[in-house]
Amino acid sequence: MSPVHRLSCHVGGQGLHEITPLVDQAVQGCGIEDGLCTVFIQHTSASLTIQENADPAVCRDLESWLNRLVPENDPLYTHNAEGPDDMPAHIKSALTSASLSIPFVGGRLALGTWQGIYLWEHRRFRGERTIVLHIA
């Protein structure tokens, strides 16, 4: 079985979208008990993060904070061909992360009790994003 898996993740717009179950399912199906899962997003206007998954207010607050830090329609932006959320999305992606490394033990992700893996969509985009997993 190949150590590389592709996930297609549907996002309904800007915000944090939990993908923990998708990643965990791939790890469980790989046939390896202990190892490392690298999660990589193939986009420059979205990112990945590990964050609390118990209280949805955490995700809302993070999104509000980052939107305030990197506002739309800043007159300094010159890259705006795809709309006012385009350049802010690239900046947000640069400030966050395109990949994560998560150990797994006993065929399960070794995340903490309240941790979840999130695709952080920085645009108002609705559609599919591609995640590549390397499980070894």
CATH number at residue 68: 2.60.120.460
- Identify the domain containing residue 38 by its residue range: 4-135
Domain count, the chain: 1
Q: 48 and 96 in contact (C-beta within 8 Å)?
A: yes
Tokens linked to 82? 């795809």
pTM of the model: 0.95
pLDDT in tens, 8-38: 999 999 999 999 999 999 999 999 999 999 9
Mean local confidence (pLDDT), 91-96: 98
Tokens linked to 78? 């010159």
